[in-house]
Amino acid sequence: MVPVFLIPTYSNVELNQTASTSANLISIFSGINAASRIILGVAADKLGRTNTLFTCCFLAGASCLAIWSVASNIEILTGFMVVYGLFGGGFISIFPVVVAQVVGIERLSAALGILYFGNVVGNLLGAPIATAIMHAQGGKYIGAIIFAGMSPVIAAFFVLVIRFRINKKFLAIA
């Protein structure tokens, strides 16, 4: 969620966009994000829950590293928000069903409570940490962008470990 907090300022400061244009980027993200949750839910049914969650986490992070890090104009930044909106929403919609698949329905409430607590900590501290990194680098965004990108990429590899514990076959629907 770090990009959602930093993109308006990035757009305004780095790309000299108006506050209105900067705010519109969040609207674009939100609209794509809402639609993607439905699309990714269908994809999870067809391709497997953990496969889809891995893809979402990995591509959300990779989009920060590959697109946002080189966004030198509003068109590239808008493209980033579309890609991030598409895959960033997958975590929210697919995460609970992956947890249910791993721990079972009987232990779902306790597991989700513990995991969402960790998620809240990350959501509360992610933007301040990214901002602190940015300030430590003299206001340059690249450290914050790397932090924002690497966090979901690392999470994706944890999902990959879970996925191969569920089914060791490489191309399995899991």
Q: Is there a contact between 31 and 156 (Cβ–Cβ < 8 Å)? A: no
pLDDT beyond 90 at 44: yes
Residue among 55, 124, 66 nearest 91 (CA):
55
* Distance between CA atoms of residues 87 and 68, nearest Å: 14
The CATH class given to the 2-166 domain equals mainly alpha
Tens of pLDDT, residues 122-135: 889 999 999 999 99
Kindly state the tokens that stand for 5: 């907090």
16 vs 169, more confident: 16
pTM of the model: 0.91
What's the pLDDT at 173?
81
What's the pLDDT at 90?
85
What's the pLDDT at 171?
77
